[in-house]
Amino acid sequence: MAAGFDTPITRDGDALVGPFRAPRQMLAEQEYDGHTSVHDDATADKLGLPGAPVEGPTHFSQFDPLAAELWGQQWFERGCISAHFETMVIEGEEVQATVTSTGAAAARGIATKRTGEPVLSASLTLGDEPTELGERLARMLAKDVGELFIVDRLEIGWMSPASPASMGYDESNGNLYPFSLADKVRLMTEPSPWYVPGEPSPWDRAVVPTEMLSVLAHKGGVHLSVRGPAVGLFIDLEVQRHAPVFVGDTYSLTHEVVGVGQSRRVESYWTRTRLTAADGSPVATVLLHQGVFKASYAEYPADRL
């Protein structure tokens, strides 16, 4: 077991393997732009999905004990997980995380269902090592995106004004994330006393879990000119720490549009959110690739679906 966790870890050659877990879906009440999300059962059914999926960042918690086994507390000080989501997980399905070291500061991670179906693939790194999504974003930017009808008004390079954000332990995180950190810790697959104020940690303070850093980065929403109403989902997510992110501290957030694109079913856009401390030092960066289902936008040209 890694420091800070009760998670049983086994070794399979060079790989660290966690147990199968059944992650909980906590966004059934999520609301954005005045409507429900893909995490609502009725909305998922309309889109032809087998059920409301577990939110993608939830799976990051299964990697934390494995990364902590590799790198100790450094994982929470300058660690990065950079993931491509491959298959949705419906609550009740079980998932297993595996991490294989590829160097002193780098590893590959995969999450799979009991059926062997892949859930996500990821790079795990310390510091400024190359990441999975750095390469994916570069490939998208090199393509001709074609004609867009939902994200056509977005401009690469647009940046938001700075805004404050913090994550208290017991406070709700708003309509986008209608639960508190305390709620999440009670239900998460790999809880740790390091996440709980008043409990011992290497920093004598509680840190925000990896899966909740994207919540902190987006709890106030990112107000972009995406046409709607339409239903979206996470395609890729990278969370990079430059320093520990502490529960209760206030950080300054800026959001930047860094890419747009499309596939057969979705149009998509990339945002990079930077969290800085009061002294201006970088604390974390969150790179998010979001898709919007073409079929969920009523004005999408029928001959393009």
94's CB contacts (< 8 A; 6+ apart) are 20, 21, 22, 113, 114
Question: pTM (2 decimals)?
Answer: 0.92
pLDDT in tens, 72-117: 999 999 999 999 999 989 888 999 999 999 999 999 999 999 999 9
Does 243 score more than 60 pLDDT? yes
Does 3 score more than 80 pLDDT? yes
Look at residue 44 in the predicted model and tell me its pLDDT. 45
Q: Is residue 71 part of a domain?
A: yes
pLDDT in tens, 196-229: 999 999 999 999 999 999 999 998 777 899 998 8
Instruction: Identify whether the C-beta of residue 270 lies closer than 8 Å to the C-beta of residue 82.
Output: no
> Count of residues for the chain?
305
Q: Is residue 126 part of a domain?
A: yes
Look at residue 231 in the predicted model and tell me its pLDDT. 83
Q: Is residue 4 part of a domain?
A: no
Q: Is residue 264 part of a domain?
A: yes
59's CB contacts (< 8 A; 6+ apart) are 23, 83, 89, 95, 97, 111, 119, 120, 211
Q: Is residue 3 part of a domain?
A: no
Look at residue 38 in the predicted model and tell me its pLDDT. 47
Q: Is residue 118 part of a domain?
A: yes
Q: Is residue 138 part of a domain?
A: yes
pLDDT in tens, 265-293: 999 999 999 999 999 999 999 999 999 99
Look at residue 223 in the predicted model and tell me its pLDDT. 81
Higher pLDDT, 174 or 184: 184
User: The domain that contains 42 carries what CATH number?
Assistant: 3.10.129.10
Question: Which token pair is 74?
Answer: 């450094």
Share the mean pLDDT of the chain: 91
Q: Is residue 2 part of a domain?
A: no
Look at residue 37 in the predicted model and tell me its pLDDT. 46
Three-class secondary structure assignment of 134-184: HHHHHHHHCCCCCCCCCCCCCCCCCECCCEEEECCCCCECCCCCCCEHHHH
How many domains does the chain fold into? 1
Question: Which token pair is 148?
Answer: 């867009």
Look at residue 300 in the predicted model and tell me its pLDDT. 95
Domain hosting 151: range is 10-304
Does 178 score more than 90 pLDDT? no
- Mean pLDDT across the stretch 251-274? 96
